[in-house]
Amino acid sequence: MHRTLSAARRAYTLIEVLIVVAILGLAAAVLIPSMSGRGDFDTQAAVRALISDISFAQSDALANQSFRRIHFYEGGTGWCLVKLAEDELAQEFDPETADFVVDPLKGAARGGTYAIDFVQDDRYASVRVEGVSIDGGKRDITFDELGGTVTSGGLPGRGGTLILRSPDAAYRLEIAPVTGKVRVTRLAAEPANEQ
């Protein structure tokens, strides 16, 4: 008799089971729709990476008292960070001669250039950089020794915009003149027939 009582006390009641099932059902109802579009997560991750890289480039320019530039690739496949001398401000980006910043996470020994390439990095596979227009149509953000943005002529930067887009989401990044402060706005989804 003692064994059957202790076995009954260890079981779950019907109410407890129903509560657990209801909680799991609510969690599934909330999570499954948001997990359907991986591109939104990829795009958010790319936005965070770009904001981080802008902050790093600005801090690195200030810390090393030299110019740093973020260049956005023509095909919309990412960006890279390069070192510049003052007499190189007006030069166009050339990957063959560029002096890339070393990524502290990769290290120089492993060829660790500071670059995000969506083609080689599957974390951002569905994301593209579009509509880059900085300082009047350029594809670069340049920071001077004081951490402020500058144009290719060495004058204070005028800011600009760019869009990070995937099939599921799009974000506009607005770079403020001089300070380089970034403001992010989520764009409305485009209808499927317009893409």
**Is residue 183 within 8 Å of residue 176, measured between CB atoms?**
yes
Q: Is the pLDDT of residue 69 over 80?
A: yes
CA–chain centroid gap for 133, Å, is 17
Please give the average per-residue pLDDT across 75-95, as a whole number: 90
Q: Is the pLDDT of residue 122 over 90?
A: no
Tell me the backbone φ, ψ of residue 132, rounded to 5 degrees. -70, 120
Please give the average per-residue pLDDT across 38-61, as a whole number: 88
pLDDT band per the 50, 70, 90 thresholds, residue 125 = confident
pLDDT of residue 115: 86
Helix (H) or strand (E) holding 49: helix 38-64
Q: Is the pLDDT of residue 70 over 90?
A: yes
Token pair recorded at residue 59 = 């801090």
pLDDT of residue 192: 47
Query: What global pTM score does this model have?
Result: 0.75
Instruction: Tell me how far apart the alpha carbons of residues 63 and 47 are, in angstroms, rounded to a whole number.
Output: 24
Please give the average per-residue pLDDT across 133-151, as a whole number: 91
**Is residue 45 within 8 Å of residue 52, measured between CB atoms?**
no
Instruction: Tell me how far apart the alpha carbons of residues 92 and 138 are, in angstroms, rounded to a whole number.
Output: 10
> Which residues make beta-bridge pairs with 141?
70
CA separation (Å) from 21 to 11, 24, 176? 16, 5, 50
Token pair recorded at residue 110 = 């492993």
